Amino acid sequence: MNIDLSGRTALVTGSTAGIGEATAGALAAAGAEIVVNGRTVESVAETAGRLGGTGVTADVGTVAGAEAVIEQVADVDVLVNNTGMFTVQPVFDITDEEWLRCFQVNVLSGVRLARHYAPRMARRGWGRVIFVSSEAGIQTSTNMVHYGMTKTAQLAVSRGMAQEVAGSGVTVNCVLPGPTLSAGVLTMWDDLYPGLDAAEQERRFVADGRAANSLLGRLIRPEEVAGLITYLASDQAAATTGAALSVDGGLVPTIYP
């Protein structure tokens, strides 16, 4: 399969690290003109320069940040709503402010951007909107309930938007990664398993932590998630819409999705 995104412009939010950075790189390798997004000028400039794209510095988890992106990038062909946050916290200790902030960053960031870009894609007759959700959206983690709530919400938002643009040439989908090796996960491991190296932390996490049921026996790598996103961004995925596609290493014990 030869995925060719030449002539397409792709915006990936939160793309200076982790899944977002890997996705921006994969889309660029497939020929897309990429727009890198992040919250610091330095990281955006470095990542965009290294991947051969342009950059927009803005916190899309805020109204002002989303508006800044739209003002600088009026149209895109591919929108990857990747920006996200998570914290490990007992559910009864989560404050109203923390619930709302998690929802703003993980859900409304993508809603605001898709609300602008998707109708314009539909008028042009082609487009791809992809939400980076999580397996936590279908099996809630006890110590990250607010995170799981937002990932479940993304599934509903994605399906509803797909229905709204039905027959227009625009597809809207979610991908559901399992625990993925990223800077945020490494930081979390330092709290969970202080003093151990990353390889031993991963082994412990798989053995008795969130990834204990993984059929891979390890965490997902960002590039593996990026591969699925790149497929969904392609012409080859034209018949896939309104779907939630798993890339969790078999962590969720179900054959669907």
Q: Which residue ranges in the chain fall short of pLDDT 50?
A: none
pLDDT number for residue 189: 86
pLDDT tens readout for residues 174-206? 999 999 998 878 888 898 899 999 999 999 888
How far is the C-alpha of 19 from the C-alpha of 225, rounded, in Å?
Answer: 7
Domain definitions of the chain by residue range: 9-180+220-247, 181-219
**CATH second-level architecture of 9-180+220-247?**
3-Layer(aba) Sandwich (3.40)
- pLDDT tens column, 139-154: 999 999 999 999 999 9
Q: Are 164 and 205 in contact (CB under 8 A)?
A: no
**Active-site residue (options: 147, 193, 231, 256):** 147
Q: What is the pLDDT of residue 184?
A: 77
Using a cut of 0.85, tell me whether the model's pTM lies above it.
Answer: yes
Residue 256 a catalytic site member: no
In whole angstroms, give the CA distance from residue 57 to residue 45.
9
Which of 71, 75, 29, 68 shows the shortest CA–CA distance to 50? 29
Distance CA 120, CA 78 (A): 11
pLDDT, residue 139, reads 93
Q: Can you give the pLDDT at residue 210?
A: 65
